[in-house]
Amino acid sequence: MTGSEVPHRAHRPVLAALLAVALLVLLSLGVGSLPGEAAALPAIARHAMQIALPRWGQAEVVSEIVYGSRGFDTFGETFLLLAAVLSVTVLARSKEPRAEYVGESTAGRREQREIDPEQAPDRREAQAQSAERDEDDEEAAPAAPPPDADRMRLAARAPEPAEAMTVVLRVTARIAAVFLAVAAIYLAAWGYSPGGGFPAGAGLAGVVILLYAALGHRRLSGLVRPSVLEPVELGGAVLIVGVGLGGLIAHGSLFANFLPLAAPQTILAGGDEQLYSGAELVEVGTGLVIAVFSLLGLGHDWVPDDDSDRGAQDQ
Amino acid sequence: MTAAGLLPLAVLAPLVGGAISPLLARWHRRLPLLAGLVAVTGALALLLVLAVRVYRHGPLTHFFSGERPVAGQALGIAFTADPFGMVVAITSAFIGLILLVSLLSEFGEVGRREVGGLAGLVQLLLAALIAAALTADLINLFVWFEVAALASYGLTGFLLERPIALEAAFKLLVLTSTGGFAVFIGAAMLYDSYGALNLGQLHIALGAGVNRSGLVAGALLVGGFAVKAGLVPFHAWLPDAHTPVPGAISALFSGLMVNLGAVGLVRLAVLVYPLRPGHHLLGLLMGFGLASALLGALLALVQDDLKRLLAWDTVSQIGLLLLGFASHTQDGMAGATFHLINHALFKTLLFLCAGAVVHATGATSLSQMGGLLQRRPLLACSFVLAVLAISGVPGFNGYVSLDLIHRGLQSTPVLEWFARLAQVITVAALSRGAYLGFLRRRPDEYDRLDTPRLGMRISLLSLATICLGFGVFGRLLVTRVAAPAAAVLGRPDYYARAALGLPTGPLPGSPVEFHYFAPGTLLPALVEIALGLLLAAVAVRWAAPIRPIGWLQRLHTGSVNDYAMCVTAGFLITGCVLLL
Amino acid sequence: MIICNYLAAATLFCLGLLAIMLHRDLVKIVLGLSLMEGAGYLLLVSMAYRRDATAPVLSSPPPGTSAAELVRGRVSDPVLQNFCLTAIVIGVAVTAVFLTVAVRAGQHYRTLDADKLTELQG
């Protein structure tokens, strides 16, 4: 199958609409008989309200549940995020030399040949290919800066689009970044936002992305490197595991509180929850940055070029 | 610290291993997989020690965050190690260990970052599977469902040079995410209606009567887990995701990951939803199970890609598993529990062999293979041995579990006959695969045929030995391991007490017995095998697929839109059956 | 009338699903899934809502109520709000992987048309 002659799928809109409407009826039946706004809170929720202050010293009940009573869900989520980051980095990785024969690559080349349309690359593709060759050629002199970001050649190596941004934009981004970063850390430190470290980590990642957009990759490349971020991320994960184990050792239950309770609404309130939230901040912030930058730095495709390919086959 | 306090460590170890793997790869490319070996071995040892205790003294329950249930209401999360959960968790850890060994030998020499990512994702997936088997909290089950899903996305797309890997990853993403959202909304609706998250508390709350929102929530949950389990009509991602990945990863998906869906379904249908007040959850699962068993086997019969053949067979086997559990007889449930272990063993063996052939030759389809008995006798013999086991040849492990499942279905003879028909087709499909792929003569040499490394050979030999050993000691394993698990599955009140941390006493007894040479066991098995071989001969001789199967194949258009429609239709069927 | 919210969430969910069933553009399929996700958030937050209730924060109760009253249950359901946070994190993670896969698939197949990503069939 080449997929070149795709049959007309006239049945789809009708069938899809029917299915969607039928499912809507089903779901409406379900949500229609939910208890609704007048029902009493479930006993579990009332229990959460009751223990938030005495047991965890935390006035923010949602945060208490996230990092306290149901801290293990959050723990799972942390590793979910880690799995996502790892998946993105695996999928966005560039080719590495392989020391031995991998039969699946041969199969992959065969499959690619079956898919590839028998036509010369169009203008955009040719442009991208030439840009790729430029990239491989380390010595090539950088082209002259473009007049503005919109006239950049597709996938050109240098200079970056950000360098063509106006001064106003770059300065504003720098100032905004400071405010955003402070706000994010404040969120986590005082834990008044539900979730604490999660939104704060997302905020910090946002700061990095803002700076990337305004200042360009090269300015940030010293900071945003996998060799820097990955150990930090691991540090966050280790801290979270440590918080969990602390509870296990002190009280025989993973994620039980093992730190003394400070007065509510102070920076140390919530026992080990604040530590957990801080670790989550590190984990989420670095994780998101790694994922976004892997996606942005998604380089060469893995479609075998005809000439580079033959060498790999002979290895 | 009590024994129950050690339960979470079995999850923690592979999680930490997964987190540090990408970093370890920077030092040396073999470190991540070695760290994986250490972590998973630790988890396995711990689980085995705890399992002994569970089987002797009854379930263990660990409450997280020091949050114990108050008056039967549990805000916190609990791990409850019942025998069934322990069986699934130990299977995951053990097979995971074997897979890490074989990955180390086959993919240990690729790029560093590749190995780091691969080892990390495999360990995260294993940890999620162990946690999902042990958890007694619906939302927590969903969280591990998603961890497993996210790890599987990266693993499916791992071989970036294969375009079909990305295609498969996209389909997997669409279908699994849909299933995940459904599970999540279903769980939240159940909480809103019944105020319960803990499976035991939920069972007690639902016992008072299931209202309409409870049934719709049930439909969403069942549909979501059925996507993960790969039941027809939620199955479309499964054959695709198994085709383009390394053999060990296919084995991980087939032998272990689909079990997560099965665990969810079993917990819901057998332990959470009450059996009496007029709904048809078990009947529904029987229908899905039967459809999967037949469709999977039929489509396996006509595949040309070896790994795709095995993947379709997984659809069939998981259907059979669900038939066993949904029969709700002690025989059927014990058989299904044992078959879950057996399926993980022989399907892993099959996929490792198939993957080794692909890895060494680059050939993926049966028409490109053949002649491996002379060239690679170990691979060919392992594959044939696994086929014998899956076919239920007396003396192998499949013989025992298949018989028990069939016996569990005896109260509805139609179901039993269809299950036996599916078994005949399964025998045919796999014998055809073994003949075309390995046994038949091949005059011309392969362009390339590397020898399997030591680690691979160890994996193959140990799995083959266990398949034989579990057949020989089948009776012992059924009465000592599977029957107690089935006994707890038959007593939801017992599980509910355990999940809520109430004293339970020792495990309930179970009447399940197995006799090797009972005529009712031996004769049907032999007849099935004979018929299956006959069918295989027909299929090989007249290579053109039998007409109706070709029609079934064309239904699987490969378009993600069509597959999404199948899933939606599946949700509708589930909902209608439960509500009507 | 919180039931309107529930129904809106159900409608959004089905619209998202409709997008997945109809649209052939991979990115639009991802958007459809995001819509389903959003429907989930809406449903959860609406289920957490209670009439005359306030936020589950114990620090400064609104005038006319006391912290003790909040503890007895005159608040929105904090447990469901916690699940909503869970769902948001999962949504972000899934979307990131989704986009990466879509880009890679586009590189191989030179198209984002789902009907052309049909090498695996039958």
Triad B193, B198, B199: Cα angle to 5°: 90
Residues 531-550 of B with CB under 8 A from C: none
Which residues have a Cβ under 8 Å from the Cβ of A278 and sit 6 or more positions away?
Answer: A188, A189, A197, A239
The tokens of A98 are what? 């392989």
Q: Which of C44, C81, C101 to probe the B interface (max B CBs under 10 A)?
A: C101
* Residue B97 to residue B175: CA distance in whole angstroms: 28
- Whether C80 sits inside 8 A of B192 (CB atoms) is yes
Contact A88, B153 (CB under 8 A): no
The tokens of C8 are what? 């809106």
- Which residue blocks in C57-115 are alpha helix, DSSP H? 67-72, 78-109
- Whether B362 sits inside 8 A of A106 (CB atoms) is yes
How deeply is B159 buried, as exposed, middle or buried, from its count of CB atoms within 10 A (0-12, 13-18, 19+)? buried
**Any C CB within 8 A of B166 CB:** yes
Q: What percent of chain A has pLDDT over 90?
A: 38
Considering only CB atoms, A6 lies closest to which of C3, C75, C116, namely: C116
**Any C CB within 8 A of B189 CB:** yes
Confidence of residue C46 (pLDDT cuts 50, 70, 90): very high
H/E element, B265? helix B258-266
pLDDT of residue A58: 86
Contact B538, B429 (CB under 8 A): no
- Which residue blocks in B391-518 are alpha helix, DSSP H? 397-408, 413-434, 454-472, 474-477, 483-489, 492-499
Give me the total of CB pairs closer than 8 Å, taking one residue from chain B and one from chain C. 129
Contact B8, A248 (CB under 8 A): yes
pLDDT of residue B111: 86
Q: Please choose, from the candidates B147, B159, B90, the residue with its C-alpha nearest in 3D space to the C-alpha of residue B121.
A: B147
Supply φ then ψ for residue B198, to 5 degrees. Answer: -65, 135
Chain C environment of A40 (Cβ under 8 Å): 73
Q: What mean pLDDT is reported for chain A? A: 82
The tokens of B209 are what? 């009567």
Question: Taking 50 as the threshold, does the pLDDT of residue A2 lie above it?
Answer: no
Q: Record the pTM.
A: 0.94
Triad C96, C94, B318: Cα angle to 5°: 140
DSSP 3-state assignment of B215? helix
Considering only CB atoms, B191 lies closest to which of C80, C94, C109, namely: C80
The tokens of B349 are what? 């063996």
Segment A21-71, tens digit of pLDDT:
999 999 999 999 999 888 889 999 999 999 988 898 888 899 899 999 999
Which residues have a Cβ under 8 Å from the Cβ of B426 and sit 6 or more positions away?
Answer: B297, B300, B313, B316, B317, B390, B391, B532
- Whether A73 sits inside 8 A of B139 (CB atoms) is yes
H/E element, B179? helix B163-194
Count of residues making up chain B: 580
Considering only CB atoms, C118 lies closest to which of B146, B150, B558, namely: B558
pLDDT of residue A151: 63
- Whether A115 sits inside 8 A of C119 (CB atoms) is yes
Measured CA to CA in angstroms, residue A98 lies from B21, B113, B159, B312, B359 at distances of: 19, 11, 13, 32, 13
H/E element, B80? strand B78-81
Segment C60-102, tens digit of pLDDT:
777 777 777 777 778 899 999 999 998 998 999 999 999 999 9
> For B72, what's the count of Cα atoms within 13 Å in the CB-facing half-sphere?
10
- Most distant CA pair in chain C, distance: 66
Triad C91, C92, C95: Cα angle to 5°: 85
* Residue B5 to residue A255: CA distance in whole angstroms: 11
The tokens of B323 are what? 């038939």
Higher pLDDT, A224 or B474: B474
Higher pLDDT, A222 or B218: B218
Considering only CB atoms, C21 lies closest to which of A16, A61, A291, namely: A16
Contact B184, B142 (CB under 8 A): yes
Confidence of residue A127 (pLDDT cuts 50, 70, 90): confident
Question: Taking 50 as the threshold, does the pLDDT of residue A1 lie above it?
Answer: no
Question: Taking 80 as the threshold, does the pLDDT of residue A159 lie above it?
Answer: no
Q: What is the CA radius of gyration of chain C?
A: 20
Segment C2-43, tens digit of pLDDT:
999 999 999 999 999 999 999 999 999 999 999 999 999 999
Q: Which of C82, C83, C110 to probe the A interface (max A CBs under 10 A)?
A: C82
DSSP 3-state assignment of B103? helix
Question: Taking 80 as the threshold, does the pLDDT of residue A7 lie above it?
Answer: no
- Which residue's entry shows tokens 């693993």? B155
ipTM > 0.90 (yes/no) = yes
The tokens of B404 are what? 């028990």
- Whether B185 sits inside 8 A of C80 (CB atoms) is no
* Residue A76 to residue B91: CA distance in whole angstroms: 21
Measured CA to CA in angstroms, residue B477 lies from B93, B259, B337, C96, C114 at distances of: 18, 20, 11, 45, 48
pLDDT of residue A266: 81
Contact C70, C54 (CB under 8 A): yes
Confidence of residue A196 (pLDDT cuts 50, 70, 90): confident
Q: Which chains touch C (3 or more CB pairs under 8 A)?
A: A, B
User: How far does C89 lie from chain B, in Å, by closest CA?
Assistant: 11
- Which residue's entry shows tokens 């912290």? C67
Amino acid at A55: R
Amino acid at A168: V
pLDDT of residue A225: 82
Which residues have a Cβ under 8 Å from the Cβ of B32 and sit 6 or more positions away?
Answer: B21, B22, B24, B25, B115, B116, B118, B119, B120
Contact B26, A89 (CB under 8 A): no
Average pLDDT per 10 consecutive residues for chain B, totaling 580 residues? 89 95 90 93 97 94 93 94 96 96 87 91 97 96 96 95 93 96 96 95 92 94 96 94 95 95 95 76 94 95 93 96 94 96 96 94 90 91 95 93 94 93 96 94 85 90 94 92 95 95 90 86 93 91 73 89 95 93
Dihedral of CA atoms B352, B355, B359, B362 in degrees, nearest 10, equals 150
- DSSP conformation class of B272: I
DSSP-assigned states of every residue in A60-123: BHHHHIIIIITHHHHHHHHHHHHHHHHHHHHHHPPP---SS--HHHHHHHHHHHHHS-SS---H
* Residue C59 to residue A18: CA distance in whole angstroms: 50
> For B18, what's the count of Cα atoms within 13 Å in the CB-facing half-sphere?
32
Chain A environment of B358 (Cβ under 8 Å): 103-104, 107
